[in-house]
Structure 1
């Protein structure tokens, strides 16, 4: 190539180098290039001892869960409602601590069954717990309060899946007939059948102990006495004479007692009387 042909190329290269040098020297002495935006991709590292180091900024929650699953070789299944982002910097924590921290910061929870970890919302977790609980059945026999009244007290204590069944109210005023004695249609006490969780049944038991009690009553007692006069006591009794006196030996008015005139009283009638009397009455009698 002729020497004259090379001059334009060399001149172009020199101009380009001068332009680059000018751009570099035009920056202020303390000025630096703008920092790059941090990556949203999570940085996860699991050591040989099983501790986790996690650094994420606005990372997708499902992406973080996927990395935790793959690097720890753990089966993690998230429901479709699990969505969101997470920001965290964790050092030297266990896998469980890292998982709980990430989920709690996003408002989610999890359950572990065997080799599987299920990530879900709080509502899904509550519904799952309710579905696994066992409903029990208990019969309450009432002595004083009616089944309808007891149901009003127990209904607020029922769980979301609980129920109460009561005995029907007895029909009153059943007329008697040649074959029926009448009365009410229910021959047993009122009862409640409650189906609910064990803790709710315990609360209901305590309430029924308070309300199913004997009502306070006033006892009114009356005593009826009846006296009948017969031939043996129609003349009455003088209690001053009741002292074991042998009235058969008295044939006239006795001054030893007060106003006793036996007259013609048969001895067999006097034998029916039992009496007591003072024995010192002779001290006041006159001589003769």
Structure 2
């Protein structure tokens, strides 16, 4: 008797909320689908073609799972399928077409409003309808693209349950590190599932790595220690990188930070080379970095024309130094290059050589 009570207590702790009924009826904005629940739940939702998939976290069904033929309000079928691996109940609503919809928590459950355009049909209830035996677990084909969209409305939901739900949606396996626990409260609408995963883990100080079809969740410290241990087990490889344009001393300081703890770097000035000893994965990083940095420096070509001239050449550049209308006080006359000019009692003679722009005047005093 004690065993029975204990098992019942564990079951209620895992599934504290139950789906009591499903009601489909016409609404002001389209077809309303109410999932009647006896408590508040967290959920995720997404669409695949004409299917709307709603995952109710930590929820069981009063129908022990079911596949209903609806045939009204734009809804063809509704399938209830428990997913024990993710501790959730999956509700798959298959429409006559791919409808847009809204979903919200309301008093008494979760309400979906489908934009079917149908408002004239009879109300349908799961509690008064017959159903077929459910599948053991509803498998929904999800695009392999990591940008596939998902919506989540979670309130104080168990982190591990949420992670299992996302992994199940993405069709990925999940490995959770030691000590990963907690509760999360988030509301995300139509975000890529990997982005949702990243945001949820960051809010708890955790991170993740995707290896093939496996999502690994842990702390940054756990992954750093794991990487260090893996690198310590790898054999060292020595490679010589002969540089064509760069100097080894210039690249030495740039390459050192990307080496592992066992990695070393040496310089051979004679051959203009770097000698790097490290594990193979770090060698690939070094090779890629050198290929980007060991490039020819762009050259600038400057053309210069040198002209050798002297005073006689300047005088032959075509300037006529003859002057007419020479005036200075009461003196009037003209001057020609090479002709003597009598000075008389005056201190000099002013030559009006040219009138420049802005009314400037160029004059010369002959003394």
The answer, yes or no, to whether TM exceeds 0.5 is no
Looking at secondary structure, tell me which structure has more strand per residue.
Answer: 2
Q: Normalising to structure 2: TM-score of the pair? A: 0.29
Larger-gyration structure (1/2): 1
